[in-house]
Amino acid sequence: MATIKTTLSLTNLDRNWMSSIIASGEFVSSSEYVRALIRNDKEKRSEIDQIRAKLIKAEKSGYTSLSREEILSELKEELRSNGEL
C-alpha cells in the first residue's frame, strides 16, 4: 500500500498529548499514532452503522414492544458477546 505524506495542524495541547503518548512507548511515531486513531475511528463507525441498521430494521418490523433505548442496549450486549464491540 502506498504511503502519502500529509501535513497535520494541531494545537499545542494536542501536540503535547500526542508527544506524551509516543514518549510512553505505546507508539513509535506520530504517524503510527495517527494511523491507529484512523483505524479505531473506522472500526467505531462500522459498529455504529451496524447498530443503526439493526435499529432501523427493528423499528420497521413492528414486532417489538421495546423502546429504542432497550433495543440499543440489547444490540450492544449482543455485539459484546460476539466480540464485535
- How confident is the prediction for the chain on average, in pLDDT? 90
- The alpha carbon dihedral of 66, 69, 71, 74 has a sign of negative
Q: What pTM did the predictor assign?
A: 0.62
Among 6, 3, 34, CA closest to 18: 34
What cell numbers appear for 3 in the block? Answer: 504511503
Average pLDDT over residues 29-40: 96
Q: How does DSSP assign the chain, residue by residue?
A: -----------HHHHHHHHHHHHTTS-SSHHHHHHHHHHHHHHHHHHHHHHHHHHHHHHHH------HHHHHHHHHHHHHHTT--
Instruction: Over range 33-58, report the average pLDDT.
Output: 92
Mean per-residue pLDDT for 31-58? 92
